[in-house]
Amino acid sequence: SQQGEEDPQALSIQEGENATMNCSYKTSINNLQWYRQNSGRGLVHLILIRSNEREKHSGRLRVTLDTSKKSSSLLITASRAADTASYFCATDGMDSSYKLIFGSGTRLLVRP
Amino acid sequence: NAGVTQTPKFQVLKTGQSMTLQCAQDMNHNSMYWYRQDPGMGLRLIYYSASEGTTDKGEVPNGYNVSRLNKREFSLRLESAAPSQTSVYFCASSVGAGYGYTFGSGTRLTVV
């Protein structure tokens, strides 16, 4: 089945720096979503970008989508210790937008 | 608003026992989902319900059954638990296809 794969698997940065995470997927999609998961908690929806969009912003988050390369990136600017979490991309499929398939995630550590 | 509520939060089962995981949402969402998350991995879709009265298999349905009891509730049943079903189970809901998901806080299940 199609799947988003995040890169890197783990990322450690200093507070105030920017964090960039990448996601690649295999087949055509209708939309791609990013989620955050704090340790031991459920996932929280961050942003959704549709296949006809190239860039989207939400606060300190910027998401880009390149459908020709089947890839997306999530940029967190001016990171804070509270941004420490795992970040997952998720893609639907052209056959069914109801089924979101998640990647294995990027673990982000923001050092104070 | 409570959002998505899962019960129980923790459960230990013996191999061969059965149990039902409960999920309820109060956001009038049409679609509901069950995922499992194993250590260091992303989420895998078990079953989903696009709308009240319908259910469909996801990536890993074997060993599970579901019931969409009404628009609010979507339960997951393990008929004969196996150690391989030790995992954290997340329920989620959404308005429908092409929208973000709201997740519950999870059920941590151990099968011994």
Per-residue pLDDT at B1 = 63
Going residue by residue through chain B, which has 112 residues, state the pLDDT in tens, using 9 for 90 and above: 679 999 999 999 999 999 999 999 999 999 999 999 998 778 999 999 999 999 999 999 999 999 999 999 999 999 999 999 999 999 999 998 889 999 999 999 999 9
What pLDDT, on a 0 to 100 scale, did the predictor assign at position A1? 45
Q: Determine the distance in angstroms separating the CA of B97 from the nearest CA of chain A, rounded to an integer.
A: 5
Instruction: Give burial (CB, 10 Å; 0-12/13-18/19+) of B98.
Output: middle
Q: Which residue has the higher pLDDT, A7 or A1?
A: A7
Tell me the C-alpha distance between A35 and A29, whole Å. 17
Q: How many CB atoms lie within 10 A of CB B64?
A: 19
DSSP secondary structure string, chain A? ----EEE-SEEEEETTS-EEEEEE-SS--SEEEEEEE-TTS-EEEEEEEETT-SEEEETTEEEEEETTTTEEEEEE-S--GGG-EEEEEEE--SS-TT--EE---EEEEEE-
B39 touches chain A (CB under 8 A): no
The CA distances from residue B53 to A4, A84, B22, B26, B67, in Å, are 30, 39, 17, 17, 9
pLDDT at A2: 47
The pair of three-digit structure tokens given for residue B28, joined into one six-digit string: 């009038």
CB within 8 Å of B5: residues ≥ 6 apart: B23, B24, B25, B26, B104
Q: Are the beta carbons of A43 and B101 separated by less than 8 Å? A: yes
> Is B33 near chain A, with CB under 8 Å?
yes
Closest chain B residue by Cα to residue A2: B59
Indicate yes or no: CB of B99 within 8 angstroms of CB of A48.
yes
Task: Answer whether B9 touches A (CB < 8 Å).
Answer: no
Among B98, B102, B104, select the one facing A45 at the smallest CB separation: B102
Question: Tokens standing for A38?
Answer: 């704090």
pLDDT-wise least confident of A27-31, A48-52, A77-81: A27-31
Residue B58 at interface with chain A, using a CB cutoff of 8 Å: yes
Pairing of strands A10-14, A106-111: parallel
Q: Which of A48, A96, A97 sits opposite B100 (nearest CB)?
A: A48
pLDDT in tens, A15-25: 999 999 999 99
Contact B94, B101 (CB under 8 A): yes
Q: Touching check for B34 and chain A: CB below 8 Å?
A: no
User: Token pair 């019931």 is at which residue?
Assistant: B67
